[in-house]
């Protein structure tokens, strides 16, 4: 008599449970103990995907290609003897579709700054599965702890421009739960704002006064100076 089948174990042997489009994954299904031959059937949402007969005690291997969002979700396998009723079901594995993040954009409301000024930097990836983790850099040095955003919104940091060394090249990076999917932003630089001299408003005022006096003198010539000159002849 064949040995009674145990509940098979469904395991991931290639790939990850967080998948991207067109990714290949391999699942193994094995019932131990059990007397071969055993028929293994893979199900997705209770719908049969594939079936294999094993004549030995090696696991049944199912290779899948995640080609659309409908390919993700819950998978189980079933082990049964041929020409027998019933069978035993395995644990379930759930695949989740992960969208790769897009290159983040680093920006600021102002591109000019001066010493002693507070400024902000924001980093935002328009596409990619949440949550997304951001980090900011000045040159190659990290200037902020990682900021994990659960919503589709930018990560923002506040900076104090203390010295000329703060007019450096800034970047940020973004990543999500997809392995090896870190993206770096564009480079951003603050430029030093020109500080206006305290004497500049005074010079402008004097220039306007001189201009008005010149115009007034020119207007007075035909009304006052010429009549006085004629009266003196």
pLDDT in tens, 64-76: 998 888 889 999 9
Angstrom CA distances, 122 to 108, 109, 195, stand at 6, 9, 26
Q: Establish whether domains 9-97 and 105-192 are of one fold.
A: yes
To the question of domain 105-192 being in CATH 2.60.40.10, the answer is: yes
Cβ neighbours of residue 12 closer than 8 Å, sequence gap 6 or more: 25, 26, 27, 93
- Residue 233: per-residue pLDDT: 61
- On whether the pTM is more than 0.75, the answer is no
- Fold (CATH) for 9-97: Immunoglobulin-like (2.60.40)
Q: How many whole angstroms separate alpha carbon 58 and alpha carbon 50?
A: 17
- Of 212, 221, 163, 209, nearest to 190 by C-alpha is 163
Helix (H) / strand (E) containing 62: strand 60-66
* Domain regions of the chain by residue span: 9-97, 105-192
Q: Give me the residues of the chain with pLDDT under 50, please.
A: 1, 197
Q: Across the beta sheet with 60-66, what order do the strands follow? A: 9-14, 23-30, 60-66
């Amino acid at each position: 008599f064949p040995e009674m089948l145990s509940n098979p174990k469904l395991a991931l042997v290639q790939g990850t449970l967080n998948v991207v489009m067109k990714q290949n994954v391999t699942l193994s299904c094995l019932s131990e103990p059990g007397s071969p031959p055993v028929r293994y059937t893979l199900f997705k949402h209770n719908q049969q995907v594939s079936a294999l007969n094993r004549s030995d005690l090696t696991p049944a291997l199912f290779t899948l290609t995640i080609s659309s969002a409908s390919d993700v979700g819950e998978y189980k396998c079933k082990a049964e003897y041929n020409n027998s009723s019933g069978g035993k079901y395995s644990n379930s594995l759930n695949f989740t579709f992960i969208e790769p993040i897009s290159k983040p954009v680093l920006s600021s409301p102002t591109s000019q700054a001066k010493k002693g000024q507070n400024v902000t930097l924001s980093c935002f990836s328009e596409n990619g599965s949440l949550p997304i983790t951001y980090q900011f850099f000045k040159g190659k040095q990290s200037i902020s702890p990682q900021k994990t955003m659960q919503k589709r919104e930018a990560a923002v940091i506040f900076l104090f421009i203390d010295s000329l060394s703060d007019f450096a090249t800034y970047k940020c990076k973004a990543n999500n739960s997809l392995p090896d999917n870190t993206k770096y932003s564009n480079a951003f630089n603050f430029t030093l704002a020109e500080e206006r001299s305290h004497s500049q408003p005074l010079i402008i005022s004097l220039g306007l006064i001189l201009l008005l006096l010149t115009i007034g003198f020119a207007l007075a010539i035909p009304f006052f100076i010429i009549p006085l000159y004629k009266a003196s002849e």
